[in-house]
Amino acid sequence: MENIFDIKTEHDFLAASIRTFRCQYDNIEVYRKFVDYLKINPEEVRSLDKIPFLPIEMFKNHQILDKNVSTDLFFQSSGTTQMNLSKHFIADENIYKESIYRSFEQFIGKPEDFIFLGLLPSYLEKQNSSLIYMVDFLMKKSGKPENGYFLYNHEDLFKLLNDLKDKKVILFGVSFALLDFLDFCNSNSQTLRFSNALTVIETGGMKGRKEEMTKDELLVILQEGFKTDKIYSEYSMTELLSQAYSLGQNEYQCPNWMRILIRNVEDPFSYEKHGKTGAINIIDLANIHSCSFIATQDLGKIVCDKFQVLGRIDHSDIRGCSLLVS
């Protein structure tokens, strides 16, 4: 297959997607069975909306992997030990590294220009996290001695952030941990005095640790707490090798090898018009050796050339996903 990172036009993306679909139909057993069950002829698929999207739940019970490769490397979703967790097997980690680098460079800047700090306790405490792998990779590319992770040592993070106030710093943080850090600052009358060089990238995730709130509410709290408008968001998941970024307003942009489609919640084989809310389908062509076409349980909508993430599908509205899995 040609290099997906060289995609420039919509025609390039469509052509690469159709070739990827047919290749994965031939070589990924679970996906082929899924397509056959739907009675879809791969040779008749010629547009993005005709490609079958594999329910993301399949990663919990099946190894989604090209039959021609083998690997011991996998990423695993976060959750409790009692949960059945998704596993994404990675045949070529260099693809993931290139996807990480190019996405970050496209939307944020060259990793070499930043100091990277991670406030990601729930992920550091688990093994096989794709998010930790991503931040580790960015730290290595950066090569700055100040790079590092923080669990619950908020005082140390506060001191370091103030010491670095004249340098370009990226703080990756899971949502509840960022809010906990601001609570620490407020309860200890600590005033953050950062320059505009600080960028906070929240990665989502309350995990029952905080009262649920909308993304817009979260962004306002973080902007006021960190005294900066540079509150960005990163959207990805264990089952993807690519990342979309929002530079504000909860509006995400995809790299050239990734696309979002919005499916009808109750009919998984029909799609919503731009501006209407539905469930998010993702095309990630970096998933060359697993599955590039994934039906998630996230709600969202497309606005112009960007998309918004609006929450999760309520269980009362999950009939469309059930149709896909059954």
What tens digit of pLDDT does each residue of 93-138 get?
A: 999 999 999 999 999 999 999 999 999 987 887 889 999 999 999 9
Tokens of 156: 């140390």
The torsion of the CA quartet 121, 125, 128, 131, rounded to 10 degrees, works out to 0
Residues facing residue 295 across a β-bridge: 55, 281
Rg of the chain in Å (alpha carbons): 20
**Between 268 and 284, residue with greater pLDDT:** 284
Residue 215 above 90 pLDDT?
Answer: no
Comparing CA positions, the residue from 20, 5, 1, 199 lying closest to residue 106 is 5
Comparing CA positions, the residue from 120, 209, 111, 84 lying closest to residue 168 is 111
The torsion of the CA quartet 289, 15, 101, 287, rounded to 10 degrees, works out to -20
- pTM of the predicted structure, to 2 decimals: 0.91
Is the sign of the CA dihedral 140, 177, 60, 299 positive or negative? negative
Residue 213 above 90 pLDDT?
Answer: no
Q: State in Å, rounded, how far the first CA of the chain is from the last one.
A: 32
